[in-house]
């Protein structure tokens, strides 16, 4: 999968409304901020009301004066930014940090490149004249012109009332919703296993992962059907493969993966795309001595191989995988549905769709059931 061009992503998310469940910190917050940077209006959600309001306020007041244009990994960066005088409309194109600037200007006897304010918006657009397609470098602004649009809704989306409030607030503010992204979740207690986890602890993990995803989808899916389509992005984890052990966490993520496959099949006729992301990122849940000890213990027990251990200890900032979420919510992902992706740092992956491996067959009308010995022979276990 090729990373989308920034200008294309801007156009495909400009003015869209996206609910981001679990977006007050970590990956969810990075997703909300990335969507807003690409022009979407976002509903920020989390159990902590003050934190949700703070993130929404930070998004609304953000006025990015610098747009980064990077040329591949490990190469010099080209950045487009305002000049030292923040009141001037002239932008300079600079090569890397503390290096000489390159001015963007009109050529002699050639077609004109003009830098001007977008029509009817408080943004900037770079366009080629005459008659060429516009390449947008606009800042998405609220109707008030203060910054990207964001509102906050507090509470756990596992609560049906909170899930409904997420949709109601978005409809009240912007008239509808175009996409739902569910990033909510919590880590399994340190050292948790089937040998010591309680029923209450297990149920809490299922609620945090599966019930939150279900309730949000239950509320938003009918709305997307009425609007003629949209996108849903859920959050699973490599843990659904059992690699990291545990109980409630892998069970919840595995259920989210299965629900994603089912919703993609069920909603395809309504032009609703449903995909999952198994993210990796450096957050509060993946740092600290306890987390380090947990990963090293899993590696020592043989549950994690060397590559998975390394990826778990150095997954990259959440802003990297946030781009994958934004892509899946955008029109650039049209036709992509029923997929489970993985992303961490510069890594992108996709899980193959599960299917049974053919072993053998015989007609049950003409033959008796397989004997235990026959099955053992087929499976090579004796």
Enumerate the active-site residues: 249
CA-to-CA separations, 225 to 111, 218, 272, 333, in angstroms, rounded: 46, 12, 7, 18
SS3 label, residue 292: helix
CA 343 to chain CA centroid, nearest Å: 9
Sign of CA dihedral 11, 123, 110, 6: negative
SS3 label, residue 125: strand
Q: Radius of gyration over alpha carbons of the chain, in Å?
A: 24
Per-residue tokens: 245: 């052990």
Strand partners, 153: 45
The bridge status of strand 101-103 relative to strand 17-21 is unpaired
The Cα 100–Cα 96 span in angstroms is 8
Q: Are 341 and 348 contacting, i.e. CB atoms less than 8 angstroms apart?
A: yes
Per-residue tokens: 349: 């992956």
The Cα 302–Cα 325 span in angstroms is 31
CA 98 to chain CA centroid, nearest Å: 33
SS3 label, residue 310: helix
**Residues in contact with 312: Cβ distance below 8 Å, sequence separation at least 6, in sequence order:** 280, 286, 295, 304
C-beta contacts of 98-107 below 8 A and 24+ residues apart:
104/80
């Amino acid at each position: 999968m090729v990373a989308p061009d920034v200008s294309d992503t801007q156009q495909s998310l400009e003015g869209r409304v996206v609910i981001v469940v679990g977006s007050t910190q970590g990956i969810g917050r990075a997703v909300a901020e990335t969507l807003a940077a690409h022009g979407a209006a976002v509903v920020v959600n989390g159990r902590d009301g003050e934190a949700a309001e703070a993130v929404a306020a930070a998004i609304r007041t953000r006025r990015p004066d610098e747009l980064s244009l990077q040329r591949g990994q490990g190469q010099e960066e080209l950045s487009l930014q305002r000049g030292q005088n923040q009141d001037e409309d002239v932008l300079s194109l600079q090569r890397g940090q503390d290096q000489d600037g390159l001015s963007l200007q009109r050529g002699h006897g050639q077609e004109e490149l003009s830098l001007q304010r977008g029509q009817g918006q408080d943004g900037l657009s770079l366009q080629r004249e005459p008659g060429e397609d516009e390449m947008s470098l606009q800042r998405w602004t609220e109707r008030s012109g203060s910054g990207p649009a964001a509102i906050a809704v507090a509470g756990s989306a596992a609560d049906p009332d909170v899930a409904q409030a997420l949709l109601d607030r978005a409809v009240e503010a912007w008239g509808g919703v175009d996409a739902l992204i569910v990033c909510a979740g919590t880590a399994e207690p340190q050292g948790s296993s089937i040998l010591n986890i309680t029923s209450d602890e297990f149920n809490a993990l299922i609620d945090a992962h599966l019930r939150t995803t279900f309730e949000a989808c239950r509320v938003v899916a009918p709305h997307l059907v009425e609007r003629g389509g949209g996108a849903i992005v859920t959050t699973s984890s490599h843990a659904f493969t059992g690699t990291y052990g545990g109980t409630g966490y892998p069970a919840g993520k595995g259920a989210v993966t299965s629900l994603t496959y089912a919703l993609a099949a069920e909603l395809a006729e309504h032009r609703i795309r449903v995909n999952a992301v198994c993210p990796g990122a450096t957050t509060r849940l993946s740092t600290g001595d306890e987390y380090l000890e947990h990963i090293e213990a899993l590696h020592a027990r043989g549950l994690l191989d060397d590559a998975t251990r390394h990826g778990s200890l150095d997954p990259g900032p959440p802003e990297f995988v946030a781009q994958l979420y934004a892509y899946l919510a955008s029109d650039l992902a049209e036709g992509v549905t029923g997929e489970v992706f993985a992303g961490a740092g510069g890594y992108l992956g996709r899980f193959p769709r599960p299917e049974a491996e053919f072993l053998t067959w015989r007609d049950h009308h003409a033959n008796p059931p397989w004997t235990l010995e026959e099955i053992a022979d087929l499976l090579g276990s004796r």
